Structures are given as C-alpha cells and as structure tokens.
Amino acid sequence: RPRGSLWREFFLVASLLACGICQASGQIFITQILGIKGYLTILAVDNVPEDVQEYSWYRGANDSMGNMIMNYKLPSTRQPGPMYTGRERVNTEGDLVIRPTALNDTGNYTIRVVASNETQRATGWLEVVELESDPSLSVNATSLVENLDSVAANCHTNATNITWYVNYGPISSSDRMRISPDGKTLVILRIRRTERTLQCAIESFPDIFQKSEVISLTVSYGPDDVLLRSNPYAFNGIMKAEIGSQVEMECVARSLPALKHRWIHNGSLLNVSDATVNLSSLAWEQMGSYRCIVENPVTQLTFYGDFRIQAPGEDLTCCPQRVLHLGTHSGAPHRVDSGGWRLPLWSPDPRSDQLLLKQDKSGHLSVPLRPEDKTSANR
C-alpha cells in the first residue's frame, strides 16, 4: 500500500481479477502495475503460448512502430526501437525490465506476442511512485559504561512499520531492550560491551527497507579480573629466583579504555606505569612482595594481583596456601605485612593435626621432634 492510498488498493484488486479472467480465457496479460523510483521494475507477461517466437514491447496503448521500446526474437535477437532509453531490456521470459525506474515511466505499456499460429496483445498501466525520505536516528548518549548506563534512541519518520537493528541485526522488544508502542523509540537498559551500533529502518513497500544512518556506541568496560604472568613461573604467586637472574612480571586485563597500571614493592610505590616489570639482574633488595594494581579511569573499577620473589631455598613447605609470615607479639606468632622467614604453622598433610611449631612458656618457638627423630643428632 504505497502511502496508504485507497485508490491504489482498488486498482490492485481490479488488476488481479482481470488477470484471473485473462488466464481463464487463454489471453496474455501484464502483471506488474507498480514501480518505485530508483529501483528495478519488471513488467511481466503471463499466460504466454508455448510456441512463442517473438516479443515486442511498446510505450503507450497501441503497438505502432513509433512506440516500440524493444523487439526480441527467439532465441537471442534483440532490436531497440524509437522509445528505447537505454534503461530497458527484454529477458528470456519476454518480460520488460526497467532499471533504474523513473517517475516519468508511469503510463501504459503494450506487448505483442507472436506465436506460430496467432498474435496476441495486452496493455497494462505502470504506476511509478517515490519512496518517502529515509529515517533519521538520534541517541541520548554514545559514550556509556557497561552494566551501568542505558541508551535511548529515536527513529524520526512518519512511517509506522519500523524495524530496529543492533549490531546490524534486527531485534525485538525484551526485558532489557524496550521498544515503544509506536515503534519509534528504543531503550537499552544496562548496555553491554557487545552492543556497538544502532540503526532503524522503515518498510514502505514489501521487502524494501529504508535504513537510517548507523550510530556507533563506545561502551567502556573492565577490568573483569587480572591475569598474572611471570618468568620464571609463579606457583600460587610465588617465584623462585636466584640473585643475578632475570625476572619478568606482567599483569594483563581486558578493558576499554586502556588501563592505568601501578606497582607496589614491599609497600612502596614504584615509578612504573607499564603492565610489565622487568628485573634484568635480580638484587637482594628487589626480593619480596609485588602488587600490580590496574584501574579503569572511566568505569572506576580497580583490581590487583600479587607476586612474591624469594630465593629457591627460602620456603620450607610445598603448600604456599598454608604458609603465613611469622612475627612476634607477646611471644605468639601472627601475620605481618613485612617480609621474613616463612614457616609452616601446621602439617601440610590435611589428615594430620600434628603441630609443627611448639611454643614454650617464655614465648620461644621450636620444632618438636618425632620419636623416631630423637636418635638423630642433626635433628
């Protein structure tokens, strides 16, 4: 229904009824009655005899030679006529193809079909219409934060058949993507990083979509977590490295925009703003704990990850998750932030409750000997 014109609806119905009458009587007829400016139009001839030999198309209601557009003799001979504009051709089915269609193509068209024992003629009216202007699109914001901001888009058009596209794919209304009853407004709640483009389209004619411009969104996100990498390999965040060896630490996280990095060594802020710390020749004063802090300045999310560098023989247990720093306070062991010797408080064997450190009345710590060890002077 172009522009909802009622007279065109009656014209379509009348043409369809006429086609049915022609088919029943064995007469040829033209089926195309509507064209769109700038698009391809096919004036199709139907109910053609099987022994057809020649098709001739004319502009107007008669088949005079001065009105000829093109003559097509099977199997492949085509001859243009006086009304040929360079935009017309006749295909192998005998249909007249016009591309692109112009508004002044509106009018009567006549076809003459020559068969072995008869010649038939048919005339049809082609109405060429112009599409409405393409819709335009506006949004309330293009720079957003994932899972925090929402975006509202408006499709500016007089049409009512509107389709919305996110990432170039059509979408429908849902709990998070809400389309207004008139179809002209789309609201996306809690925008996601994967939702990068918005567009709307109208369908003035079946299968002909007029699309708006594409609006790109910048969705800031992350960091979601921190991935720690090191050389040598860090087991549970602990690296064993010799003095003078090379040590490299890196913390990686996905984020938009790029992250800001800070490094802390034994509680002191380092003058490093990169994701990587490279110690070309490890010194004693470079031992200890390192913390990498990553921050997204837009989402204001901050994550951190910890490393620890120690000498190969420094740790006395195989299970770092059971190891605590030891200090003294009223003669009792407790956690501290500073470095120091690391000793296991409890047996690494979860099936055993054996106390590996013993404290006497004065607060001193010692390792209790097992009965089988008392014969060994070294123990």
Is residue 100 within 8 A of residue 108, CB to CB? The reply is no
The predicted structure's pLDDT at residue 251: 94
- Interatomic CA distance for residues 81 and 84, integer angstroms: 5
Domains of the chain: 29-129 (2.60.40.10), 136-216 (2.60.40.10), 222-310 (2.60.40.10)
Q: Are 103 and 126 in contact (CB under 8 A)?
A: no
In Å, how far from its chain's centre is CA 353? 55
Structure confidence at residue 313 (pLDDT): 80
Q: What is the pLDDT of residue 208?
A: 87
**Exposed, middle or buried by CB within 10 Å (0-12, 13-18, 19+), for 351?**
exposed
pLDDT at position 66: 96
Q: Is 126 exposed, middle or buried (0-12, 13-18, 19+ CB in 10 A)?
A: buried
CA quadruple 329, 335, 337, 339: dihedral sign: positive
pLDDT score for 33: 83
Amino acid at 236: N
Give pLDDT, residue 26. Answer: 77
pLDDT at 204: 82
Q: Residue 200 in contact with residue 165, Cβ under 8 Å?
A: yes
pLDDT at 361: 55
pTM: 0.64
> Quick check: helix, strand or coil at residue 16?
helix
pLDDT score at 362:
55
Instruction: Show the low-confidence residues of the chain (pLDDT under 70).
Output: 1-25, 315-379
